[in-house]
Amino acid sequence: MVGSWKNEGDLTEKAQNLRRHLDLTAVLLTRSEEGMTLFSEGEPIYQPTRAQEVYDVSGAGDTVIAGMGLGLAAGCTMPEAMYLANTAAGVVVAKLGTAVCSLQSWLKHWTGNKSFRRHDHPMPSETLKQRKPNMTIIVTGAAGFIGSNIVKALNQRGITDIVAVDNLTKGEKFKNLAECEIAHYLDKHEFIRQVREHILPYQTSKPFSIKARVPIR
């Protein structure tokens, strides 16, 4: 579509011209064993391949599309979704033939090949019935906030606090979430509308950087 390029500067110019011509927010360029580059407003963002070895790039493009879609649907920024997609692609190109990226493989990639056992949990509504009173629930920005219907259900069951935390950087966020027993991905905008008047500043140390304590009495 844009032809060949001579160097990185020429590539950036062609990609940005294409983005503007098609009126796109961003253009993501996959570059086989060289990783990928995201072109949007400002400087391009480059990520090298996450694969330790590249055996076969078949299906990697489809994996990138799926990873980007999953990240954006979960509320991630473009660079965060790119990181998700790049990680998933790093899993499949390290396998021979057209491969898939399982959840377990993805988690191992984020957490330095640490193994995780997948639990079979009930749906959120059933999980809420098992919650004990006076619990504190922690949610992260990009991974999804708890929706208003869940807030009401929590309130009815005597759960008094929700703690909202800042996004963790790259793999740190996913490592922490992977170590949680249960994680639900829900609508953050409706949650904010429901509890905005109750949000108070609240700071603590890592691993979670807390930005608000939200009483839901």
pLDDT of the chain, 217 residues: tens digit per residue? 667 777 888 888 888 988 999 999 999 988 877 788 999 988 899 988 766 565 556 667 788 888 888 888 888 888 888 888 888 887 777 666 666 776 666 666 665 554 444 444 333 434 444 444 444 444 544 334 445 555 566 566 555 455 544 445 555 555 555 544 444 443 445 444 444 434 333 334 444 444 444 444 4
Max CA distance (Å), the chain:
64
Please give the Cα distance from 88 to 90 (Å, whole number).
5
DSSP count for the chain of H helices, then E strands: 8, 6
Structure token digits, residue 15: 């990609």
Rg (CA), the chain: 20
Domain 8-110: homologous superfamily in CATH = Ribokinase (3.40.1190.20)
The predicted model scores a pTM of 0.47
pLDDT score of 39: 93
Instruction: Please state the φ and ψ torsions of residue 59, each to the nearest 5 degrees.
Output: 80, 0
Please give the Cα distance from 55 to 90 (Å, whole number).
10
Please give the Cα distance from 136 to 38 (Å, whole number).
38
Please give the Cα distance from 22 to 114 (Å, whole number).
42
Domain ranges, ordered by start, for the chain? 8-110, 124-215
pLDDT score of 150: 56
- Dihedral sign of CA atoms 168, 174, 178, 184 in order: positive
